[in-house]
Amino acid sequence: MRSNLPLQSSSVVSKSGLSALLLLTGSLGACESCVDPQIIKVAPQIFVDVCAEPQKVVNKVLIGGFSECALAFGDSDISVRAERTFVITNPSNLALNIESIEFEGDPGFAFLEAPPTVIPAGLSAQVGVTIRPQFESTITGEIVIVSDANNTPVNDEQKSEVRIPLTLTGVDNGVPDIEIIPGDCAAAGTLAADFGRIATGGVAICNVEVRNNGTRELFFDAVEFVDAGTGPVSEPAGSDAAPGFAITGIIPGPDTPLRPTSAEVPPLTLRLTFAPDVLGRFTATIRFDTSDPDEPSIELPISGIGVVGPTCVAEVKSINTVLVDGGINIEPLDDVVLTTVNSTPATPEGNIVATRWTLEERGADSTVQLSSPATTETGFIFANRRGVDVAGRYEACAVVTDDLGTDSNNRCCVDFEAIPSQAFLVQLTWAQDFGDMDLHVTKKDAGGDYCVQSLGGGSTGVDAPFTTGDCGDNSDCGFYNCRADAGGSPNWDTVTGRTTGDPSLDIDDLNGFGPENINVDLAVEGSYGFGATTFSSGAFLMTMRLFVFGRLAGEWQEEIDSDFWEVGLVHFTADDPTRPCVEDLTDGDPNDQCPGL
């Protein structure tokens, strides 16, 4: 029987079923006429299963011969690796020493693994051969096995020699075509990546795009750094630093082919990084060994310079046009301006020539953007007005560039909390970028009702404990009577005129997202209800938040179509005016959180 165990570099073999051979050698004296003369000799032998003559059978198993050999690959697609195997058997009672197994002819033929050097007595070894045709033609070659076997013809050096002709016909059924694009670090006019000047201690990233512009899958034999100058990576003279370049992420290999690039199949993107930790010039080369028949090996030179970089300083410059000098207190809707004016270049005679801001964090449901992200100073903007829109945490970070073209790499960020200072603030946002929602906050009247103004004679569809109708001047606060720019508001604290105890609607948002905020700076004793309705038609996903003395005291979310959304109540008592009780109306019970109020 023939075994197909994997090869090793030294005599990886599998046992042949040679019980008949052992029986013969054990009974030579009894039956010399029935013993193969070659077996009687105490010497190693060689037989190969792809050789037709002589037909050697051991224990009813055909193990081949040593002449009229052939290993035919047949037709094989160009650029696709083809593989074949053959088996060498040593049916003798001595180890077979193989001096060499080498190719002659086309240099494209190769062994899958190192062939064996010894095949023990009675065992066999499997040898794998591979080739990737590059052209539409017939490829020929020959495997020459030289050993100490005594059963075969010998060469000029009187050593056993077995020759196995190899043939393959390349067929053009489409080929891959590799293209490498170094992205924004491409060196002008060449296939090279140049990171330029990067501050030591920092990390620069270049996305290298690999495309397959052919009509067949592209296979990668290797993607690796190769020698450049004196080593894999040429470091500055006298440097003990580790190489500054690396490929991060998934590196393609033989089992991860790249399909032809198209609208449905994106190119492969390799993330190349440069992290200099000493001053000086760094160079390296990445080699791509692939199945592209025209360019089976492509090298991408990469370079960069480690330099001293500028230092970025980010600060809050002003709040509502008032320059900041010391601590900062920021509330929703405040106009906050940031600056990098105190950043310093790498050299005393240098200058900062550019700033890039990014908004890393913003309050929940905020739609705020940076007003001028490419200038020294920037602010925040939403719904065509300046300022931060909702309560929450904000963080903006900056990178500055000096006149030598070097970016800063130190952490350069401003973060702050936008915290309402009022006794309570109700905030409404919605998920859509269109639509007009209306926020209402109403004070419980003498009759025990929470009145919501009925506008235009229509019903607002309210449920208990809210009522609807004509609320007069002292109950409901909404867009129609409570805007800060309208001059008036309900009188909730009985003091004439607009005072700190009266409500104020900061924004009446008509075009999506919100926020709408109604706040009371100094709430007087009493109970206040809050909810919202849709002015525009359709269903909208609303979010309501209640802040009490700057603390988030409640958050609710619901999809509302046309009815009034009854959300909650907040009760301020004379006994403890700084600790109001919040009643959640969305749970269906208006008296479970604050019984008796």
The 10s digit of each residue's pLDDT in 90-126 is 999 999 999 999 999 999 999 999 999 999 999 999 9
Q: What is the pLDDT, as a whole number, of residue 227? A: 57
pLDDT for 5 beyond 50: no
pLDDT for 580 beyond 60: yes
DSSP 7: P
Q: What is the pLDDT, as a whole number, of residue 269? A: 93
Q: What's the whole-number mean pLDDT along residues 152-161?
A: 93
Cis previous bond, 44, omega within 30:
no
Strand partners, 532: 439, 565
Consecutive H or E run containing 458: none
Give which of 566, 558, 559, 563 is closest to 589, Cα–Cα.
566
DSSP 110: E
Phi, psi of 38 (to 5 degrees): -70, -30
- Which amino acid is it at 454? S
pLDDT for 589 beyond 80: yes
pLDDT for 150 beyond 90: yes
pLDDT for 281 beyond 50: yes
Q: What's the whole-number mean pLDDT along residues 44-58?
A: 95
How long a stretch of residues is the chain? Answer: 597
Q: What is the pLDDT, as a whole number, of residue 9? A: 33
pLDDT for 426 beyond 50: yes
pLDDT-derived band at 494, boundaries 50, 70, 90 = confident
pLDDT for 29 beyond 60: no
Tens-digit pLDDT profile for residues 326-372: 888 999 989 999 999 999 999 888 999 999 999 999 998 899 999 99
Which stretch of 14-23, 58-67, 164-173, 328-337 has the lowest confidence by average pLDDT? Answer: 14-23
Which position has the token pair 């690039």?
A: 261
Give which of 341, 357, 356 is closest to 396, Cα–Cα.
357
CA 377 – CA 387 distance, rounded (Å):
14
In three-state secondary structure terms, 35 is coil
CA 461 – CA 294 distance, rounded (Å):
74
pLDDT-derived band at 134, boundaries 50, 70, 90 = confident
In three-state secondary structure terms, 58 is strand
Q: What is the pLDDT, as a whole number, of residue 226? A: 82
Instruction: Extract the tokens encoding 322.
Output: 């008032």
Burial of 379 (0-12, 13-18, 19+ CB in 10 A): buried
Give which of 284, 269, 294 is closest to 235, Cα–Cα.
284
pLDDT for 31 beyond 50: no
CA angle at 271 for the pair 265 and 274, rounded to the nearest 5°: 160
Q: What's the whole-number mean pLDDT along residues 50-59?
A: 93
- Which amino acid is it at 194? D
Q: What's the whole-number mean pLDDT along residues 278-303?
A: 91
pLDDT for 474 beyond 90: no
Q: What's the whole-number mean pLDDT along residues 431-436?
A: 90
Tens-digit pLDDT profile for residues 368-383: 999 999 999 999 998 8
Residues 6 or more apart whose Cβ sits within 8 Å of residue 155: 146, 161
How far from chain centre, in Å, is Cα 334?
36
Residue of 507 and 12 predicted with greater confidence: 507
E runs forming strands in 217-267 = 220-226, 233-234, 245-248
pLDDT for 234 beyond 80: no
Q: What is the pLDDT, as a whole number, of residue 477? A: 92
- Which amino acid is it at 439? L
Sign of dihedral through CA atoms 510, 513, 515, 516? positive
Which position has the token pair 């160079």?
A: 283
CA 535 – CA 542 distance, rounded (Å):
13
- Which amino acid is it at 482? C
CA angle at 64 for the pair 60 and 69, rounded to the nearest 5°: 160
CA 352 – CA 406 distance, rounded (Å):
10
pLDDT-derived band at 39, boundaries 50, 70, 90 = very low
Q: What's the whole-number mean pLDDT along residues 558-568?
A: 91
Q: What is the pLDDT, as a whole number, of residue 577? A: 86
Q: What is the pLDDT, as a whole number, of residue 459? A: 55
Q: What is the pLDDT, as a whole number, of residue 486? A: 66
Q: What is the pLDDT, as a whole number, of residue 424? A: 94
Whether the CB-CB separation of 594 and 571 falls below 8 Å is answered with: yes
Residues 6 or more apart whose Cβ sits within 8 Å of residue 569: 450, 465, 527, 528, 529, 530, 582, 583, 585, 590, 594
Q: What is the pLDDT, as a whole number, of residue 487? A: 65
**Distance between start and end Cα atoms, the chain:** 93
> Do the strands 551-560 and 204-212 form a parallel or antiparallel pair, or are they unpaired?
unpaired
Backbone φ/ψ region at 403: left (φ over 0), alpha (ψ -120 to 50), beta = alpha
CA 559 – CA 555 distance, rounded (Å):
14
CA 522 – CA 502 distance, rounded (Å):
8
pLDDT for 266 beyond 70: yes
Residue of 369 and 12 predicted with greater confidence: 369
Q: What's the whole-number mean pLDDT along residues 275-301?
A: 90
Q: What is the pLDDT, as a whole number, of residue 18? A: 34
Q: What's the whole-number mean pLDDT along residues 461-474?
A: 85
Mean pLDDT of all residues in the chain? 86
Complete domains list, the chain, with CATH? 14-171 (2.60.40.10), 178-307 (2.60.40.10), 315-418 (2.60.40.10), 424-584 (no CATH)
pLDDT-derived band at 483, boundaries 50, 70, 90 = confident
pLDDT for 245 beyond 60: yes
